[in-house]
């Protein structure tokens, strides 16, 4: 399937763009979703779902635990991912990521990040669906790291709906799935292949209407994900009067 992914990335998807023009988006989405679903079957990735996907949501927001997240989300939602530039240099996976249209952000490069932001806003305005991991890195899935709120700026510029989803690995996968610290892709893949099953629970949160600032969207989506993963750590609801007084006051994520 990695060979099939490479062939799709370097031949089938570019060929579809030449032959189909604007219609190539559906062709690419079909290839990526079907490839992801087959890889899920090979890895014995069992996904249980709570909530419902909003087909009108242009931006998908998720916590980040492992490279498996991309395959899991890709098997359920046709979308383009936004990732840190390091992934572009991974063997095989980097080539596939480039071929399917992943947008890469270079840390510490304000000019390049601004260019990616403009590209994201342009795509969102034209009906493309993007997926981001605003923590900027992976965690062990026991909480939610700080969100990089500037990643939500394109959603504000495009005025589109945003939907958060949470990923929670269960049973043995809870300790084996996280891709953290000094993990390397191939050894981690081999560990994953030894598991009889990989259990993953995916929760769709309520979508957020367009019109909010990027800081508001960042704060709200992080709270939604935190509430599904760690209810005890989620912010306590405030009295209605207090909420009204603080309606326009938000802290930067």
The model's pLDDT over 98-131, given as tens digits with 9 standing for 90+, comes to 887 888 888 777 777 788 888 999 999 988 999 9
The model's pLDDT over 39-88, given as tens digits with 9 standing for 90+, comes to 999 999 999 999 999 999 999 999 999 999 999 999 999 999 998 887 77
CATH topology for 2-233?
A: Glycerol-3-phosphate (1)-acyltransferase (3.40.1130)
Domain boundaries, the chain: 2-233
The token duo for 77 is: 């939602």
The model's pLDDT over 178-202, given as tens digits with 9 standing for 90+, comes to 998 788 888 898 999 999 999 999 9
Q: In this model, does residue 150 exceed pLDDT 50?
A: yes
Question: Can you give the C-alpha Rg of the chain in angstroms?
Answer: 18
Distance CA 136, CA 127 (A): 24
The model's pLDDT over 223-238, given as tens digits with 9 standing for 90+, comes to 999 999 876 555 555 4
Alpha helices by DSSP H, listed for the chain, are 2-7, 13-20, 24-43, 68-76, 93-99, 110-125, 153-158, 173-176, 185-193, 214-229, 240-245
What is the residue-averaged pLDDT of the chain?
A: 84
């Amino acid at each position: 399937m990695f060979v099939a992914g490479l062939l799709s990335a370097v031949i089938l998807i570019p060929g579809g763009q030449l032959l189909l023009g604007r219609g190539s988006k559906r062709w690419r989405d079909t290839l990526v979703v079907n490839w992801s679903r087959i890889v899920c079957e090979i890895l014995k990735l069992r996904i249980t779902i709570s909530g419902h996907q909003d087909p009108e949501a242009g931006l998908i927001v998720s916590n980040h635990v492992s490279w498996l997240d991309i395959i899991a989300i890709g098997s359920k939602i046709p979308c383009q991912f936004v990732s840190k530039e390091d992934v572009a240099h991974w063997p095989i996976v980097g080539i596939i990521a480039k071929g399917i249209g992943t947008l890469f952000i270079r840390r510490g490069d304000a000019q390049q990040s601004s260019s990616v932001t403009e590209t994201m806003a342009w795509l969102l305005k034209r009906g493309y669906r993007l997926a981001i991991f605003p923590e900027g890195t992976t965690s062990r899935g026991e909480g939610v790291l700080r969100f990089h709120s500037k990643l939500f700026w394109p959603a504000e510029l495009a005025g589109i709906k945003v939907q958060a989803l949470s990923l929670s690995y269960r049973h043995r996968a809870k300790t084996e799935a996280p891709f953290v610290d000094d993990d390397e892709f191939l050894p981690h893949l081999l560990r994953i292949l030894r598991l009889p099953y990989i259990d993953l629970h995916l929760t769709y949160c309520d979508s957020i209407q367009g019109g909010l600032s990027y800081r508001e969207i960042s704060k709200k989506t992080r709270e939604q994900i935190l509430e599904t993963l760690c209810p005890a750590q989620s912010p306590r609801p405030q009295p209605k009067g207090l909420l009204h007084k603080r309606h326009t006051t938000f802290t930067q994520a």
